[in-house]
Structure 1
């Protein structure tokens, strides 16, 4: 149960949503956008957030598309994670989304909600980082389309009043050789120790990670080492791990030392699978 009252709005267009935010913000109601709402409910129950109004984006047509537009795959921010797997237009994204939660939760969690969330993992962003996807963002200043690398830096960096509308990925990335590995402490239950997504393009392996550090990331420095033809696989992996962008997590799922051990063997497995493709 959420321990406070709030106003609920469900606009049917992007301009209506943005205007609602402007009005509610001016009234001091601390409005928030949401799509699936699962994470907002969790944080609200913990009194970690306290919006006076919420703006539900699920009735906006542009936020619900999943289709090809010429040479691009366009996915709306309100598309449920389960739909990504069902439609399966981007196999690496489908596998990554499928591993993010159980089926019941994936029916509620949206693509945009996962990417814009506060929890460490946000695994759905990994294929987008690898494929240099672009983000269509709406806000008080209008619409803007930007590279994911400009707006997702450890987390989504949206300005006040902005929301994510769509993710756009070039078609050439959808059929590339890929690997997705998710390692948990026990079986298929609980948060991951390591989630790794990888693509191979133009003979170069790209990797992105979740669960290793306190945020999902792709590291160009790590990729340069992993693609060094002069190094053995083990040397590549050892040197790449030395270039992690932040301290390795220690939490209830596992210690930093154990995570590094799992990451090392996951990377060896990934390189072995992709180097011959």
Structure 2
């Protein structure tokens, strides 16, 4: 049972969605875009989330795309995670999101909801960061579609404007065939909150890496990748130096202490290096 009530609206087109958001804000309402609704329920029951109007975007045709077209892979923001899994279109994304929550939750969670949510793990973003993808959005001011680099919106804290609607992710098709590695470590159970998720790929002879659960946001850092790709360093030296240059303090919470997270990170980086330096997918 939620401790608040809200109006439900269903948008059929993206312009309708952002115009409705603007109208509701002008009425001093608290609208949100709605995909799967799992976060509203999870955080709402804990009094950590509230709204008084939801705008369901699942009927917007563009938000339901998942296909290759020309030189790009298009992933609609309102696609549920299970509708993306095991399709063979973007294997790194499909394998990474297959470890989010449990299957019942993934039936509801959308890729856009995972990327834009308040729960900080947002591991669905990692494959898009690794592939320098673009995000198609529309906001309540200009009301025009525009592609933005994934790093400007989702590498670290979210940088979306109020009312900015994410419609789809656009990924170069070449990344569907690269060697990759993705793994999630949990402190307990097989479907609890993750401790750390790591994803990596090898392209043009270089390793890329992105992380979730180490800091209070998902991120990819070129300084860490430079260390991973420094052939003059032994594996142990690479791991030690990465610990030294992390961009900020590591999370320390009920899921795991900062030292335990760093311990887990070391093991995951070692696995990533073994996989991507020596063959594999």
SS at match of 1:41: helix
After TM superposition, the runs of 4+ consecutive aligned structure 1 residues lying more than 3 A away are none
Q: Please name the residue that 2:194 is paired with.
A: 192
Give 2:54's aligned residue. Answer: 54
Matches within 5 A, 1:22-61: 22-61=22-61
Q: How many pairs are equivalent?
A: 277
Partner in structure 1 of residue 156 of structure 2: 154
**What corresponds to 1:105 in structure 2?**
105
Aligned to 2:172: 170
* Structure 2: stretches of 5+ with no match in the other structure: none
Find the counterpart in structure 1 of residue 133 from structure 2. 133
1:212, distance to aligned residue in structure 2 (A): 1.1
Deviation at 1:209, TM superposition (A): 0.5
Whether contact under 8 Å (1:12, 1:59) holds in the other structure is yes
Question: Which one is further off, 18-27 or 197-206?
Answer: 18-27
> Partner residue of 2:145?
143
Residues 222 and 241 in structure 1, CA contact (< 8 A), matched pair in contact too: no
Q: Gapped runs of 5+ residues in structure 1?
A: none
- Equivalent residue for 2:21? 21
Name the structure 2 match of 1:235: 237
Classify the secondary structure of the residue corresponding to 1:275: helix
Alpha-carbon distance in structure 2 between the residues aligned to 1:49 and 1:268:
38
Residue number in structure 1 paired with 2:121: 121
Q: Any residues of structure 2 matched to 1:235-254 within 5 Å, and which?
A: 235-254=237-256
Task: Give the deviation of 1:156 after TM superposition.
Answer: 2.5
> What is the Cα deviation at residue 185 of structure 1?
2.0
Tell me the CA shift for residue 171 of structure 1.
0.3
Where 2:238 maps in the other structure, the secondary structure is helix
Deviations 1:225-244 (A, max 9, x none): 11001011111111112111
Aligned partners of 1:241 and 1:88: how far apart in 2?
Answer: 35
Residue 268 in structure 1 maps to residue 276 in structure 2: no
Query: Quick check: 252-261 or 101-110, which moved more?
Result: 252-261
How far apart in 2 are the matches of 1:90 and 1:120?
23
Q: What's the CA shift string for 1:7-35, capped at 9, x where partnerless?
A: 11001011111111111111111211111
Aligned twin of 2:83: 83
Answer with 3-12 or 55-64: which moved more. Answer: 3-12
Is the 2:80–2:109 Cα contact (8 Å) retained in structure 1?
A: yes
Contact 1:63 1:77 (8 Å CA) reproduced: yes
Deviation at 1:194, TM superposition (A): 1.7
Residue by residue over 1:235-264, the C-alpha shift from the partner in whole angstroms, topping out at 9 and shown as x without a partner, is 111111211112111222221111111111
C-alpha change, 1:227 and 1:133, in structure 2 (3 Å) is: same
TM-score calculated relative to the size of structure 2: 0.95
Task: Indicate the RMSD between aligned Cα atoms, in angstroms.
Answer: 1.3
1:187 Cα deviation after fit: 4.8
